[in-house]
Homo-oligomer: A and B are copies of this chain.
Amino acid sequence: MPEPDQPIQRMQTWKLTLAYDGTDYRGWQVQPGQCTVQGELQSALGRITGKTPLPQGSGRTDAGVHALAQVASFVLSAPIPAENLQRALNRTLPPSIRILEAKTMAGSFHARHSAAAKTYEYRVRLQKSENADICSPFLARYVYAYSSLLDLRLLEEAALCFIGEHDFLSFAATDPDLTTRSARLEGETALSEEDETPSTVRTIFSSGWEERSSEFGDLLVYRVRGNGFLHHMVRNLVGTMLDVGRGHLAVEDIARILAARSRAEAGPTAPARGLFLHSVEYDEP
């Protein structure tokens, strides 16, 4: 019989909530020879605990995408108080990554599989006249400096079209060098990793635009909350809505694009720098 305090008993599942400025990272996912958020986090854990579990994110964010509150989980056998781990991580990580919270969870917790909902924000610089085309250097890393005038009422109407359960295949990335699964599924929640026929159906709970003022210019901010998102989905929704807002597409075209189940029907992919993973929700036990 094993003793009750064998190492296996001391393995703990950790949940980290973290913010990052994604500008200088090649995205979340660890890649050989590249600076990534997951890689920085794994190295930091190694420096502190001597162990290098690979933290699993609630979803992969692409190069240049930011996070206000990404969630990552990992299993670790080092007995360390949560606030000490948080403080030590913040001391060794670069200032562009901050651990907002660290806590231990039930062993079944997994940042991606356990997620019930995610919210993203996309920030567009609000241009008030045709010639005001100067985007402040202090906004440039965090917004899409869109060069056309936009009709906020049309953007709002377009955003409402996405609410509910839809097949979002038209808004999924089609990167030819990635497999269907890794290209199209980001932050998968409804399916287990073993699932062989990944669905492109997602449920959007809320979707809308708001004006927000900032020191360096006014913004139009899109916020969308759903049970999961396909790869590039938010950026493709935004690119398509901007086509509506500038008058290149009609609001009625959205239903047609959804029904087409073809990436070619939707608008362009909005740049990564405007996108923020806002928050991830879990059904707390």
Query: A134 contacts which of B20, B66, B100, B135 (Cβ < 8 Å)?
Result: B100
Chain A residues 201 to 231 lying within 8 A of chain B, measured CB to CB, are 214-215
The stretch that binds B, out of A7-15, A137-145, A277-285, is: A137-145
- Structural contact, A97 and B138, CB atoms closer than 8 A: no
Return chain B residues, CB-CB under 8 Å to A95. Answer: 135, 137, 140-141, 145
- Structural contact, B19 and A136, CB atoms closer than 8 A: yes
Return chain B residues, CB-CB under 8 Å to A98. Answer: 134-137
Question: How far does the Cβ of A193 sit from chain B's closest Cβ, in whole Å?
Answer: 30
Return chain B residues, CB-CB under 8 Å to A135. Answer: 95, 98
- Structural contact, B20 and A96, CB atoms closer than 8 A: no
- Structural contact, A138 and B142, CB atoms closer than 8 A: yes
How many copies of this chain are found per oligomer? 2
Question: How far does the Cβ of A212 sit from chain B's closest Cβ, in whole Å?
Answer: 8
Question: How far does the Cβ of A52 sit from chain B's closest Cβ, in whole Å?
Answer: 23
Return chain B residues, CB-CB under 8 Å to A100. Answer: 134
Q: In the complex, what distance in Å separates the CA atom of A254 from the CA atom of B9? A: 60
Q: In the complex, what distance in Å separates the CA atom of A98 from the CA atom of B137? A: 7
Query: A97 contacts which of B20, B96, B137 (Cβ < 8 Å)?
Result: B137
Return chain B residues, CB-CB under 8 Å to A97. Answer: 137
Return chain B residues, CB-CB under 8 Å to A215. Answer: 214
Judge if A90 is at the interface, Cβ distance under 8 Å.
yes
Q: In the complex, what distance in Å separates the CA atom of A50 from the CA atom of B134? A: 24
Question: How far does the Cβ of A179 sit from chain B's closest Cβ, in whole Å?
Answer: 31
Judge if A186 is at the interface, Cβ distance under 8 Å.
no
Q: In the complex, what distance in Å separates the CA atom of A141 from the CA atom of B95? A: 8
Return chain B residues, CB-CB under 8 Å to A20. Answer: 137
- Contact digits for A123-156, partner B, Cβ 8 Å, 1 yes 0 no: 0000000000111111011100100000000000
- Structural contact, B214 and A19, CB atoms closer than 8 A: no
- Contact digits for A85-114, partner B, Cβ 8 Å, 1 yes 0 no: 001001000011111100000000000000
- Structural contact, A134 and B214, CB atoms closer than 8 A: no
Given A20-B137, A66-B138, A99-B134, 11 more A-B residue pairs with CB atoms under 8 Å apart are A19-B136, A19-B137, A19-B138, A21-B137, A21-B140, A90-B133, A90-B134, A95-B141, A96-B137, A97-B137, A98-B137
Can you give 5 A-B contacts (C-beta < 8 A)? Answer: A95-B141, A96-B137, A97-B137, A98-B136, A214-B215
